[in-house]
Amino acid sequence: MIKLIRGDVNAGFPSPADDFMEDDLHIEDYLVKNQSSTFCVRVYGDSMQGVGIFEGDILVVDASITPRHDDVVIAILNTEHTVKRLFRKGKRVGLKPENPNYQIRWIDIDNDDFRIGGVVTFSLRHHKWPS
């Protein structure tokens, strides 16, 4: 359990009038809606930097959510696992990176072994360990 300070955190100058109270935050309850279908994966690579997903981040993924166009998903394509944005154009389906150094990968529904492993719901990033 982690302590949650009530109120918003001002990214500018704090107001001395802010009255903070502590509450308990059960981080798993915050991150996980469907425990039996939720898992985490660590990110390798830089193809999703445009949406703030960086190498080393931990992604929280819910396999019970029906993926829709524009969702960030964990896809399994011919035994390769990847995180990309699900992209639909007409009847075509693609996996779109969020980095201009990479191109969209169009799925050949007839020949590719393709499925969605889950929808990314959160990303966790390490900012600094205490000294």
Strands 114-124 and 58-62 turn out to be antiparallel
- Cα–Cα distance, 61 to 73 (Å, whole number): 8
Nearest to 86 by CA among 99, 69, 100: 69
DSSP state of 35: G
Q: Which of 47, 96, 123, 131 is catalytic?
A: 47
Check if 3 is active-site: no
**Measuring CA to CA, how many Å separate 76 from each of 46, 81, 107, 115?**
18, 5, 11, 5
Known catalytic membership, residue 47: yes
Catalytic one of 84, 89, 123, 128 = 84
Task: Give the SS3 label for residue 102.
Answer: coil
Positions marked catalytic: 47, 84
